Structure 1
Amino acid sequence: MKKWRVVVTDWEYEDLRYEQEVLHHDSIEFIAAQCRTEEEVIAVCRDADALINQYAPISAKVIAALDNCKVITRYGVGVDTIDTEAATEKGICVANVPDYCKDEVADHALALILGWTRKVALANQYVKNGVWDFKVAKPIYRLRGRILGLVGFGMIPQGLNEKVKPLGLEVIVYDPYVPEETIRRKGAESVTLDELCKRADIVSVHVPLTKSTAGMIGRDQFGQMKQEAVLINTSRGPVVDEDALVEALSGGLIAGAALDVLEKEPIRPDHPLLSMDHVILTPHVAWYSEESAAELRIKAAMGVADVLLRGAYPKYLVNKQVRPLLSLRDHT
């Protein structure tokens, strides 16, 4: 009996037990790889029926070399490692896991907002260096009554919107893909990106990385922000023009930033952000909890099982344009 070949292109977990449990079936051959380049992916995955991907590049070149692939799932919300257009043209389903860490990322964004506005990290640093003086944290402003601008209004920022309501923050939103009525129903105000930048005391970024969002927060946007504004980013590093951010911080155009993601990760040792007291950095950890990590891995594997074992579209199908090319049944 021919077996479906399922390849994990790369992974950074201690094991693959969740994936193996979901895909434990007589008709599946499970292969764990650690590919880093296009050539490595092609060598391992050329005759694979399904891929589970983390960071390895699944480019148009790679997809062109995949002879049997029917589905590619990704560990995460974003699918920027995968050329979805090339996959669609070849009749390959692309799936993600859009809901596995919605609470965690909203919680982390809130932690960065509170941590920066109350100067927690800065005060901690001074105390540990022997300085006991509240004035090192000046100025701190009352949170109630200030304006939080959400760039994007998907599941995560909608969750953050609910979490900040008891804090007395006014919420404004820029998201051209969400109806104004929906935003208003959630107790927020729909605005343009320019208006958000001008009015917000805190700008929190929550958009996926696409061709249209890369660098969308750049010099023009920083130039419109209040001098006391702070930028929060828990989405993708390249959504923010990092050079423009460094310039804005160095020149005093904005007051500070709290970032969980950067253009290139890990951060290089000589990066100017590392020497800035008014910047908080965390190592792309917003997604993580023990529960979310398990959920991510299970759901990524289930996307493969949907296609190979059930003959259905993955529950979290990204490239819906592939439907006319295939005869899979709807996910139930």
Structure 2
Amino acid sequence: MACIAYLNKFSAPNALEILSAHGEHEVVRVESDASLEKSFDIVSRAHAYQCVGARDEVPGSLRVSTEFLSRAPNLLVASASGSGVDVFDLEACTAAGVLVVNQAGANAQSVAEHALSMIISLYRYIGKSDLALRKGWSGSRWDFMGTDLAEKKIGIVGIGNIGARLAQICKNGFGCEVFATDPYLNEEEIARRGAKSVSFEKLLRHSDVISVHTPLTDLTRNLFDADAFSQMKEGAVFINAARGSIHSEEALADALDAGHLAGAGLDVWDVEPPPASHRLLGGLNVVATPHIAGCTSHSLENMAECAATQLITIFSGQPAPRPVNPEVLPRFRERYLGFFGGDGLDGLSTPKL
């Protein structure tokens, strides 16, 4: 029997129902407002630790760090509720033989729809005209002359599950030409996902809309800086529903204030939620939301189901469907067999980025 600890709650109650119906594992809640002594009394005997993937929702002491791992000697699996794994130190987990998994793809439709809604809102001045009406506007409707999305050039940075879904919607639903850049995929695979593979520089220069759907890593941190924004097409729109810090907030504000970019749709921030005085919240050319792109009832239930079934799969001795650090699998298998014995874990699934 494995001990599965989860921080506060799963993304939806159906996860606990699935784990309970399986009935073979101990499932224990860790409360973020409990004392560290009480929390680590549970964590110290846990074989799996499930928590949300956004840093601002997890206290520092309960993020999976080297110190955390030193107090969790039995830990085999660190599982994120969504696709982001910001709260897990991947290097430390790999060194400790801990497999990190996520629920990549479970919220793809929801996030893709959210990104699309931001694009359309900016192109059709929905937020700006809504606010004008509420303030008593009585001018001409032509003050809000919009732009059609049809046949525009869409650039997608990171064409994993979410990026691929957005590519399909824009290409099939609006006749857009879709470009993509993704260091993990070859030209043929990017084409299969509905986009033309181009360099990052070409994507910047030719896209009417750029939408970011890549993890936050050392390689993507500040990927969109002043230089990148300056290379973007004049009048282009920038969307980020992935992670804050992939773009420089100051550089984006400068590009918007200078009129080089027409607008931005932001669901993620360096600090979440951003203060009301934030520079990017001061204008009407930014559509802003508080990291809710994946927050739909269907998405949360899907993520919860994926998390629960993946944990059951792993502790049944089968390969993890969505490993984030697959290089740890040989060491993980040794540790797993040390705890539970038996065979299995011989497969190696391809990580979904």
Task: Calculate the TM-score normalised by the size of structure 1.
Answer: 0.90
Q: Distance in 1 between matches of 2:271 and 2:298?
A: 27
The code of the aligned residue for 1:28 comes to H
Closer/same/farther in 2, CA of residues 227 and 320 from structure 1, 3 Å limit: same
Residue 149 of structure 1 and its aligned partner are, at CA, apart by 1.0
Is this contact kept in 2: 1:73–1:301, CA < 8 A?
no
Q: Does the residue aligned with 1:237 lie in a helix, a strand or coil?
A: coil
Partner of 2:32 in structure 1? 35
CA 1:70 to 1:193, structure 2 compared with 1: closer, same or farther past 3 Å? same
Q: The residue matched to 2:154 in structure 1 has which SS? A: strand
Cα distance in structure 2, aligned partners of 1:323 and 1:53: 21
Residue pair 2:164, 2:194 contacting (<8 A) in 1 also? no
Q: What's 2:120 paired with? A: 114
Structure 2 CA distance for aligned equivalents of residues 292 and 34 of structure 1: 24
Aligned residues: 326
Alignment of 1:59-208 (within 5 A): 59-132=65-138, 133-138=140-145, 140-165=146-171, 166-208=173-215
Distance 1:288 1:321 in 2: 31
Contact 1:150/1:157 (8 A) holds in 2: yes
Deviation at 1:186, TM superposition (A): 4.8
1:73 partner amino acid: S
Cα distance, 1:304 vs structure 2:
2.3
Query: Per-residue CA shift, 1:252-296, capped at 9, x if unaligned?
Result: 221110111112111112111222110001121211221211111
- The separation in 1 between residues aligned to 2:90 and 2:127, in whole angstroms, is 40
Distance 1:78 1:186, change over 3 A: closer
Give the fraction of aligned pairs with identical amino acids, expressed as a percent. 31
Looking at structure 2, the residues matched to 262 and 6 of structure 1 have their Cα atoms a distance apart, in angstroms, of: 31
Deviation at 1:34, TM superposition (A): 2.5
Question: Compared with structure 1, are the counterparts of its residues 12 and 266 closer, same or farther at alpha carbon in structure 2 (3 Å cutoff)?
Answer: farther
CA distance in 1, matches of 2:73, 2:217: 27
Structure 2 regions of 5+ residues with no counterpart?
Answer: 335-343
1:291 to 293, 298, 304: 298
| Deviation at residue 27 of structure 1 after TM alignment | 4.8
Aligned to 1:4: 2
Kept in 2: contact 1:38–1:58 (CA 8 A): no
Superposition misfits of 4+ residues, deviation over 6 angstroms: none
Q: How much has 1:53 moved relative to structure 2? A: 1.3
Of 345, 348, 351, which residue of structure 2 is paired with 1:329? 345
Structure 1 residue 11 displacement after superposition:
3.4
Contact 2:211 2:240 in 1 (8 A): yes
TM-score (norm 2): 0.85
